Amino acid sequence: MDSFTALLDGFASALTPQNLLFALIGCLLGTILGILPGIGSTAGMAILIPLTLTMDPASAIIMLAAIFYGGAYGGTITSVLLNIPGEGESAITCIDGYQMTLRGRAGAALATAGIGSFIGGTIATLALVVAAKPLSELGLRIGPPEFFSLVLIGLALLVGLVGRSVLKGVISACLGLLIAMVGIDPVMGLPRFTFDQPHFFDGISYVPVLVGIFGLGELLATSGGAAPKPTAPTLRQLLPTRTDLRRAAPAIGRGASIGTVIGLIPGVSSAISSLLAYSTEKKISRHRTELGSGAIEGVAAPETANNSHSNAAFIPLFTLGIPASPAIAVLMGAFLQNGLTPGPQLFTEAPDLVWTVIASLFVGNLLLLVLNVPMVGLWTRILAIPYSVLRAVIFAFIVIGSYAVNNSVIDIYVMVFFGIVGFVFRQVHLPLAPLVLTLILGPFIESALRESLQISQGDFGIFVDRPLSLVFLLVALAILAASVLSAGLKRKAGLPTDAEV
């Protein structure tokens, strides 16, 4: 069955009332979570995973995926209206988006962002349809040595983009690997770091860890003061003019291309796609001198890149089993909870589910466009809810979600411990992304390493003797060296690093 026929079958399943309902719920929740600064879709997905355990796997993943890409648009709303990025990747949108609001053009900015997000997400999903089969067939030819070296590329990219200190990124990644090693050794069968607690023999459940780090950690970090009470702005016009659309079209095209390509690379944040798209407009746009003072291109390019990146990030997950971001790593956890292992074998083991989810990406992007453009006033009113009330509701979800994984109080203690870890990370400016990715990838990294060494009878030369593995290793080393050198040169020149822009 070719990809087109499989996609049509996927639409037949994705358009059932049940799956449409869960896609709608996911889009709404994702947008709300994206609006709320400091919460984000990653934490929301982690909190809600336990609630999906009794759901149909396809419906559960459709809803969680919709939360993910819905959050990408939700962060735009506060960026444009209040100059507050709900999501980190929306920070670049504040520059021109808020200036448009000050000029009474918030409606045009939000509508353009919605249109760009829809186009970018659709183009990236089309790329997924085209690339899924070839990449999955290539993935079937990748053995343990190649997979281990490939994962190192993602880790090298991630560590190189964590900000001023590469050392801090390494520390965070190592801590994630250490947590992933808790449990029974997969080869020797001996307990490791379990403190003689049978509860930890299967390892530390990632859900309490993620919920603690993102959810409780953020609550602790913001507990010192109350969030400001914003008021909904008046929208003088909802839709962009023809001139706006004419100017935005090239920026949307460039943003979609940049986001789709960058989204293929494991470990690279969508904030980088937004930044590159904005930087590109600053260099080649016909109206580049207006950027920074309310140019429509300054909203169209980064928002399109952001959403196309979010959808393109599904490509390495489905075809190679590699999460391209912390949020996708959380979504990968949802697959694992349902007994599904993302990767090339998924297209043969569960093709109906895969193509249903892919079709739902098209449906979800359309739902986001239809929902969010006319509902701007409603989203801004949510911000008027007292933050103390939001804290209480979020904390209740955190505790219930942690307990529900294994019906164990120990998981609540684990959540609290890692909530404190997340708080400390924020205080000392340690990045969370490397910890999350290595926590999820840790078991796969170890399995690939151990299996490779079993094949070679303990000879590490297997990683350089196999051509594809050697290429991946050289790419990882080159990326890491370039990242360290670039960060050093920027610090020397007094410039911000990529992660700090």
Domain ranges of the chain: 2-492
User: What is the average pLDDT across 406-426?
Assistant: 87
pLDDT tens, 108-134? 888 888 889 899 989 999 988 887 767
Check: CB of residue 318 under 8 Å from CB of residue 349: no
Total Cβ atoms within 10 A of residue 396? 10
pLDDT of residue 38: 52
Residues 6+ apart with CB under 8 A from 471: none
The dihedrals phi and psi of 184, each to the nearest 5 degrees, come to -85, 130
pLDDT of residue 341: 81
User: What is the average pLDDT across 471-483?
Assistant: 82
pLDDT of residue 33: 81
Which comes out higher in pLDDT, residue 412 or 53?
412
Total Cβ atoms within 10 A of residue 269? 23
Residue 369 has pLDDT above 80, yes or no: yes
Q: Quote the percentage of the chain above a pLDDT of 90.
A: 10
Residue 36 has pLDDT above 80, yes or no: no
Q: Which bin fits 191, alpha (ψ -120 to 50), beta or left (φ > 0)?
A: beta
pLDDT of residue 402: 77
The CA distance from 159 to 291, in Å, is 30
Residue 370 has pLDDT above 80, yes or no: yes
pLDDT tens, 439-466? 777 777 887 888 888 888 888 888 888 8
The enclosing H or E element of 192 equals strand 191-192
Residues 6+ apart with CB under 8 A from 158: 169, 173, 267, 268, 433, 434, 437
pLDDT of residue 252: 93
pLDDT band with cut points at 50, 70 and 90 for residue 352: confident
Which comes out higher in pLDDT, residue 471 or 166?
471
Residue 20 has pLDDT above 90, yes or no: yes
pLDDT tens, 221-271? 777 655 544 344 444 455 778 888 889 999 999 999 988 887 776 656 677
Residue 343 has pLDDT above 60, yes or no: yes
pLDDT band with cut points at 50, 70 and 90 for residue 39: low
Residues 6+ apart with CB under 8 A from 32: 74, 379, 382
Total Cβ atoms within 10 A of residue 238? 13
Residue whose entry in the numeric block shows the structure tokens 């798209």: 277
pLDDT tens, 155-202? 776 655 455 566 777 788 888 888 888 887 776 777 888 777 777 777
pLDDT of residue 17: 92
Residue 482 has pLDDT above 90, yes or no: no
Q: How far is CA 425 from CA 214, 280, 501, in A?
A: 11, 33, 20
Of 39-43, 74-78, 172-176, 407-411, minimum mean pLDDT range = 39-43
Residue 500 has pLDDT above 50, yes or no: no
**Largest Cα–Cα distance in the chain?**
71
Which comes out higher in pLDDT, residue 86 or 408?
408
pLDDT tens, 280-320? 887 788 887 788 778 899 899 999 998 898 888 888 888 77
pLDDT of residue 119: 92
User: What is the average pLDDT across 23-34?
Assistant: 87
Identify the bridge partners of residue 184 per DSSP, sorted by sequence position: 191
Residue 499 has pLDDT above 50, yes or no: no
- Angle at alpha carbon of residue 146, lines to 479 and 272, rounded to 5°: 35
pLDDT of residue 162: 55
The CA distance from 435 to 442, in Å, is 10
Which comes out higher in pLDDT, residue 133 or 409?
409
Angle between helices 17-35 and 57-82 (to 10 degrees): 30
The DSSP line for 48-86 is HGGGGTTS-HHHHHHHHHHHHHHHHHHHHHHHHHHS--S
